[in-house]
Chains A and B, each alone.
Chain A
Amino acid sequence: MSLLEVEGLRIEFPSRHGTAVAVKGVSFTLEKGEILGLVGESGAGKSTVGNAVIDLLSPPGIVAGGNIKLDSQTISGLHGEAIRQIRGRRIGFIFQDPMTSLNPLFTIETQMVETIMVNLGFDKASAYKKAIGLLEAVGIPEPELRIKQYPHQFSGGMRQRVVIAIALSGDPELIIADEPTTALDVSIQNQILELIRTLCKERQVGCLLVTHDMGVIANVTDRVAVMYMGDLVELGSTEQILCRPEHPYTQSLISAVPRTDVKLHRFPRVEYIEKEKGRHIDVKNHWLGQKEKLSDLNAQFSDNASLKVKDVNLRFETQSAFFEKNRRYVQASNQVSFEVRPGETFGLVGESGSGKSTIARVIAGLYPPDSGVIEFAGQDITRLTEKQRKPFRRQIQMVFQNPYSSMNARMNVQDIIAEPIRFHKLAESERQVNSIVADLLDHVGLGRAAGVKYPHEFSGGQRQRISIARALATRPRFLICDEPTSALDVSVQAQILNLLKDLQEELGLTMLFISHDLPVILQMCDRIGVMKMGTLVEVGDTDRIFSDPHHEYTQHLINMMPRVENLSRSGLDIESSIAAHS
């Protein structure tokens, strides 16, 4: 008899335009003390399964078929008061974003004590005592002091600990964790996963861990269920899924995970989800490949696209005040110096708030630095007037992190990509503009027919292709990619990274690649700079940084890196399948 039995679960979202089936007959079981990973990409229905267990489906979702049993008691179909008795008391829930799952207006004490009182029927004093104990158990120092504070006084990792403490406060038999570490930095992610694992094993609590991240799966789960488009395609031990995946989707998913041991030329076998459209064009002989000579633009230019960043400082005011001494600043960039050589990909890596995006924006000319010099092709570009700067702007282009907000939703794709060409007057006629845009769309794998559509008609990965096409439209020599794939699913990420690699080769682009994700950096970059709190702590060749990190912080980051192939090294060789595909 299992703790949780899900049998033929079918979830539908009826609407005026017909019924969308989010989950199609999913079955699995979960034992006491076991951690079952539910993995899949966006839209796979994995969170929907987790929500359905405690009747938290967002309307109009309904459980249309199947059975959910908790300790052989059927709980599917329970609503209102009946399911409330189970929520918190028997099933604890951990949400993805600790920043939004606590009510900002109440102290941690209020939010914990109310939960314990309602679930266990304690009085206030003993509920308080239990809350303190729980905070201690999840590793929050000075719980008596911290419990009086409000959520905004906690960091993201600490808040997630509080959320876990609340999830545990009713002494549940089962915990459902929906992407519990997705919003956190790598080092905190590891601590939180370790915590969940220890708590489950010690208290013999079952855990359904919903995630899209193979690294998380490899780290903590006992068994894994893989979901794809509402179907459960494969269920097996973590070791089997990661090493000997049977279903083609699982295989494609695993091979798309950036590896941390070897640098591959391209990601193999990742076409399972989004098929590329269009045709490749011979870029070298195309308009796109024929760059303007830098020396024609400005006599002082040398003709290589090297970039030197020298002693760049930039601070932001976090608290304004009338008197200088009362103002507070954050030093987003502290004496940062590095060089990007022509044709290479330079990676900037660091956790959130380390100042890596700030540097990118300084280079792109979006923020003026407080002091320091940015030299592009031998000339300082920080002290130029806007008019002098214009030719540089088209030489340095940027791909932003969020493909949803970096495009004007009211312009069609044709105009989005054509705008920089028109603005910089790079084409002779409107006809030429149109043919360039069509070729670009073909080349980035969208197909020329995409031009008439609007951004909302595309998926995240397709939108990022549009962003890349837009960045290429001015024939830049230098491309800044600021977390270009962190909002994307892993298989789509692999496709985008492949595209970037191809383009770099064909066009001889120099790239600055920014990411918090070490495996991605490893796969993409020739050299790496590691940033911490506005300071560049280490620069070196990718191989050297990964094999022999000098700085303490780099070592820490690399140790924390989730490794999928720790498990898979023994089994299926991705190598052989790579060989077969390339």
Chain B
Amino acid sequence: MLLFLMRRLMQGLIVMFVISIISFSIQDNLGDPLRELVGMSVSEAERDALRDEMGLNDPFLTQYARFMGNALQGDLGQSYFFKEPALDVILAKMPATLELVFAASLIIILISIPAGVYCAIKPDSWLTKLILGFSILGISVPVFLTAIFSIYFFSIELGWLPSYGRGDVVPVFGGLETSLFTRDGLSHLILPAISLASIMLPLFIRLIRSEMSEVLHTEYVKFARAKGLKKARIYFLHALKNTMLPVITVGGVQIGTMVAYTILTETVFQWPGMGFLFLEAVNRVDTPLIVAYLIVVGAIFVVVNTLVDLLYGLINPTVRLARSGQ
């Protein structure tokens, strides 16, 4: 177990290092930060002096070494626009994004497992065909379109739900604030969460269905039937647990991807999270903020996948025991 964690930590560090190089090296191509930073009236000589002062004229490696030196102390640079440490700006927006991702994941889990299992158990029923038909539709429609259509229907035509922004928040665990526990907060959350879930949901329904139907053809499921077990126990205990193993692995990657997809969803719904912030940062050529965002999202990917691997080891005894060296 310890060896596994150490190895994952090493891998994570390598991944983070590569991400830092890539995200740092693209910043030269994002545009001139000076243009956004200072007014039109500043002369070219002053601009050069400012560039020198900010270190933008140094060779790449010098700049990168300085950046890494600071990053290792937890300083990812100063946002040009907010005039605050970039990391702090991002961390302030993170709860809103994670809340959205959490809500979307919850929707995915609650719908995809029953739907996928149903499709596997009753492959010929009309409901299965309906679910699978809809899932094709869901995969094909881009998330911003789903978002815009749902705003049109539920906010504008029906007027049931608010169309943008985050609702009232309440503090939990000290400093963290969440809108999950207020009525207003939830009503603001529903549409963005559904839109975000809409891309992943079909994938998971199909994944669970195909894994489950494969598991249902295994010998141990046949043996479970021959033992005289009740159907519910075979489906929801014996088969489902085996079905979930590959699903969990895919799920880990997809949660990371969802964090990235929030850029679209948050922009359409004006959700004050990291994704929205990132798009603004790109428009303002706020390079330190962009770099910090990429690194934070990379870190989320690494952490989530490590957790998923640990979880996988807990569910699958073969893996767990192999690691502790039995």
Give A residues with C-beta under 8 Å from B: 54, 56, 84-89, 92-93, 95, 97, 100-106, 114-115, 118-119, 150, 152-153, 163, 166, 169-170, 319, 321, 326
Contacts and interface: CB of A to CB of B under 8 A. Distances in A.
Interface size class of B (residues with CB under 8 A): 20 to 34
Contacts of A92: 226
Contact of A152 (B222, B226, B317): B317
A16 to B, nearest CB: 15
Interface of B: 3, 218-220, 222-230, 233, 238, 241-242, 245, 315-318, 321-322, 325-326
A97 B220 CA distance: 10
Given A104-B242, A150-B318, A152-B317, A95 B229 contact: no
Given A105-B241, A106-B241, A150-B317, 9 more contacts: A84-B228, A84-B229, A85-B228, A87-B225, A87-B226, A88-B226, A118-B229, A152-B321, A166-B227
Given A103-B242, A114-B233, A152 B318 contact: yes
A564 B40 CA distance: 100
B230 A101 contact: no
Given A95-B223, A100-B219, A321-B3, A88 B228 contact: yes
Contacts of A102: 220, 223
Contacts of A89: 228
Contacts of A100: 218-220
Contacts of B241: 103, 105-106
Contacts of A86: 228
B226 A93 contact: yes
A95 B228 contact: no
A118 B242 contact: no
A169 B222 CA distance: 17
Contact of B228 (A101, A119, A319, A326): A119
A114 B227 CA distance: 9
20 contacts: A56-B225, A93-B226, A93-B227, A97-B219, A100-B218, A100-B219, A101-B222, A103-B241, A105-B245, A105-B316, A114-B227, A115-B227, A115-B229, A150-B317, A150-B318, A152-B317, A166-B223, A170-B228, A319-B322, A321-B3
A397 B36 CA distance: 73
Q: Is the interface of B mostly helix, strand, loop or mixed?
A: helix
A105 B225 contact: no
B237 to A, nearest CB: 8
Contacts of B223: 93, 95, 101-102, 163, 166
A326 B4 CA distance: 13
A88 B219 contact: no
Nearest to B3: A321
A103 B228 contact: no
A101 B220 contact: yes
A163 B227 CA distance: 10
A166 B225 CA distance: 12
B229 A114 contact: yes
Contact of B227 (A85, A88, A104, A105): A88
B222 A115 contact: no
A114 B238 CA distance: 11
Nearest to A176: B226
A282 to B, nearest CB: 50
Nearest to B226: A93
Contacts of A97: 219
Contacts of B225: 56, 87
A54 to B, nearest CB: 6
Nearest to A87: B228
A87 B318 contact: no
A169 B220 CA distance: 16
Contact of A115 (B3, B228, B316, B325): B228
A95 B222 contact: yes
A103 B227 CA distance: 12
A319 B325 contact: yes
Contacts of B242: 103-105
A153 B317 CA distance: 10
Contact of B222 (A56, A88, A114, A319): A56
A321 B3 CA distance: 9
Contact of A118 (B228, B316, B317): B228
A114 B236 CA distance: 14
Contacts of B233: 114, 118
Contact of A104 (B222, B226, B317): B317
Nearest to A149: B317
Nearest to A323: B3
A88 B3 CA distance: 44
B321 A153 contact: yes
B8 to A, nearest CB: 14
Contacts of B224: 103
B94 to A, nearest CB: 35
Q: Which of B3, B220, B226, B245 has the most CB of A within 10 A?
A: B226
B321 to A, nearest CB: 7
A119 B227 CA distance: 8
Contacts of A93: 223, 226-227
